[in-house]
């Protein structure tokens, strides 16, 4: 089984290092693949969780289209976010943890 998660924001991430800094500041033992280029994300992003390898599919998503899709299914948005990323993974718990 695969799962998907969407993250909406009004501020775009500028780099993998900015994203890594936020993860570290929040106290998570997750390391993003440091050679990844944020602007080129559209596929598997290797990560490390508690020192072991894992990762998820990550890609930019058109936020307006994603919001429209959710609203069509009965999930209203009070705010129209300007940026979105999608995260996809299989049934592995470690992938679920790094996606969230």
What per-residue confidence (pLDDT) applies to 48? 97
Sign of CA dihedral 18, 36, 56, 85: positive
Residue 1 has pLDDT above 80, yes or no: no
What per-residue confidence (pLDDT) applies to 12? 86
Sign of CA dihedral 65, 54, 45, 7: positive
Instruction: Give me the number of domains the chain comprises.
Output: 1
pLDDT digits (tens, 9 = 90+) for 28-38: 999 999 999 98
Q: What is the largest CA-CA distance in the chain?
A: 41
- Region 57-73: what's the mean pLDDT? 96
Tracing tokens 């800094």 back to the chain, one arrives at 21
Cα–Cα dist 67/84, whole Å: 9
pTM over 0.85: yes
What per-residue confidence (pLDDT) applies to 49? 96
Structural domain of 63: 3-99
Tracing tokens 């599919």 back to the chain, one arrives at 57
Q: What is the DSSP string of 70-83?
A: HHHTT---SS--SE
């Amino acid at each position: 089984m695969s799962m998907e998660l969407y993250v909406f924001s009004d501020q775009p991430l500028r780099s993998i290092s900015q994203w890594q800094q936020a993860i570290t500041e929040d106290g998570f033992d997750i390391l993003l693949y440091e050679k990844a280029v944020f602007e080129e994300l559209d596929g598997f992003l290797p990560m490390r969780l508690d020192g072991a390898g894992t990762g998820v599919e990550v890609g930019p998503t058109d936020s307006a289209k994603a919001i429209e899709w959710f609203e069509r299914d009965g999930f209203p948005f009070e705010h129209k976010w300007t940026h979105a990323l999608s995260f996809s993974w299989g049934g592995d718990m470690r992938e679920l943890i790094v996606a969230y």
